[in-house]
Structures are given as C-alpha cells and as structure tokens.
Amino acid sequence: MITENQPNPAGEILGVDIGGSGIKAAPVDIRNGTLKAEPRYIKITAETSPKEVKKHLEDIVQQFNQPKAIGVGYPGVVKNGTALSAANVSSGWLNLDIEKFLQPLTEGKLRVINDADAAGLAEMRFGSGRGHNRPDGGTVLLLTLGTGIGSAFFHQGRLFPNTEFGHVYLDNGLEGESFAAASVRVKQNLSWESWCERLNYYLKEMEKLTSPDLIIIGGGIIENFDKFKSRLKTVAPVKPAQLGNDAGIIGAALYASM
C-alpha cells in the first residue's frame, strides 16, 4: 500500500512527468519536495512512440548527471510497472512493462506510477493536502486538468491508485475528460465561464461519487486558477495544487524513493 508517510531517504532523484503533449523532468530534493534545477521540457504528441520517449529520456538523464534513481509518471493505468491503458498517448505503451523498458536509463531504482497519483503523493506530502489525513475528514480528491483529466484519491493519507475518474461517464452521456479537460476549453474555444460550467457539472458528479473533504485542482490549468476559482460551486473546499504543474515531477521522484 502506498502512503504519503514513508521514510524519506536523502538525495537527488530524477522526476519525470510524461504527459499527452510533453515530457517534463527535473532532479528533485525529496526531503522537501523542491526542484534542484529548472525542469527540462520536450514536446511530444500522441504519436510519439515509447522508443522516441526513451531516447529523449536518455538525453535528459545525461544532462542531469546520472541521478541515483528515477521516478516516472505515466498518463495511464500502471500496475507493477506495466501500462494497462493509453488514452492520450501512443498505443505502443499499452501492456508495455515500462519499468523494464526504461530501467537501462539508470543503475539505480526506476519506478513508474500513474501521473495523477504522482501529483497526489506530492501534494499530500508537501502541498495543499498536507495534514488532511484525519480519520473524520481525510478524504481528498486531486484532479489534474490538462490534455485529459487525471485523478488521485486519498483517505487518511493513503492512496487508492489508478482511480481514472476522468473516464467517468456523466448524465449527458459524455466522458468526464472529453467534456471538461483543460484541452477541451482550448480546442472548442470555450470562454472561462462556459468551460467552468462544464467543470462544475463534472465536479458535481465526482462529489456525488466520492464525498471528498477537500478537492485539489492541478495540471496545466493551474496557472489560470484565478480565472475560474470564483465560479466553482462545490460542497467541498477547492484548493489549487500548491506545487503547481511540478507536482507530477515531484511525486514521481517521491515514489521512486518509497
């Protein structure tokens, strides 16, 4: 079971966040959840193959001087290091044992976790979720709004992995992420107001299903949180991810330390 209270060995670990539109990576000080260097960003598309991603990662690892371990956030279901879904990335990832495939990048440990679960671990340990682990009020739902919608679900600090709430179907017959992801606002040229109406519709469904005590919003949308926060109509309080869009990198590195 993954918890956010594991012992925390010192040292530098490379955190990698593979997303639908780019790879971000930086060395992370997992003692305090800070980045030790500016993140590297490499654009990818849904067509970029796992081999090409590995090549990019080889370059990044070189640049960061052989990190002692690597944590990778992958945007799909991950079980025992293997990808069991590939919604917004190349189908080449499906059923790939990513840990085995990327292990040659380092002589140290290499671990792979769902990207939103990674962001959740980081926010619970270092960010907006800190202290939200009481028996009577410790249900936290983190949603990353980017190309898709990622979810991380915690109770009393324990992660329930691979929840995939972005794929919940709403009463209007649409999948949550194809209705309310941040990318949908851009693709469909929606105003903040009408996109936020969609987000409220999605959040209402999520609250019905999970009754969270706190909702944390993360992902690429977070730099625009001010543009929509006053329009949110949830029962639970909503906080922006305190670590911003770096939460995924930080959480992936943290996971590699567990």
Residues that bind ligand BGC (CB under 6 A): 75-77, 85, 87-88, 114-116, 144, 148, 150, 164, 166, 177
Q: Closest separation between CB of residue 76 and ligand BGC, Å?
A: 4
Q: Closest separation between CB of residue 136 and ligand BGC, Å?
A: 29
Q: Which amino acid is at 118?
A: A
Q: Closest separation between CB of residue 9 and ligand BGC, Å?
A: 26
Q: Which amino acid is at 216?
A: I
Q: Give 106 or 114: the residue with its C-beta nearer to ligand BGC.
A: 114
CA dist., res. 113 & res. 128, Å (int)? 20
CA dist., res. 166 & res. 174, Å (int)? 11
Residue 209's nearest CA partner among 141, 147, 149 is 141
| Contact (Cβ atoms closer than 8 angstroms) between residue 196 and residue 228 | yes
Q: Closest separation between CB of residue 12 and ligand BGC, Å?
A: 25
Other Cβ atoms closer than 10 A to 53: 24
Neighbouring-strand partners of residue 252:
none
Q: Give 12 or 182: the residue with its C-beta nearer to ligand BGC.
A: 182
Using CB atoms within 10 A of its CB, is residue 74 exposed (0-12), middle (13-18) or buried (19+)?
A: buried
| Contact (Cβ atoms closer than 8 angstroms) between residue 28 and residue 12 | yes
Q: Closest separation between CB of residue 123 and ligand BGC, Å?
A: 14
CA dist., res. 201 & res. 179, Å (int)? 9
Q: Closest separation between CB of residue 70 and ligand BGC, Å?
A: 19
Tokens found for residue 39: 């993140």
CA dist., res. 73 & res. 23, Å (int)? 10
Q: Give 67 or 89: the residue with its C-beta nearer to ligand BGC.
A: 89
Q: Give 20 or 67: the residue with its C-beta nearer to ligand BGC.
A: 20
Q: Closest separation between CB of residue 233 and ligand BGC, Å?
A: 23
Q: Give 4 or 164: the residue with its C-beta nearer to ligand BGC.
A: 164
Q: Give 115 or 123: the residue with its C-beta nearer to ligand BGC.
A: 115
Q: Give 29 or 175: the residue with its C-beta nearer to ligand BGC.
A: 175
Tokens found for residue 32: 């305090």
Q: Which amino acid is at 181?
A: A
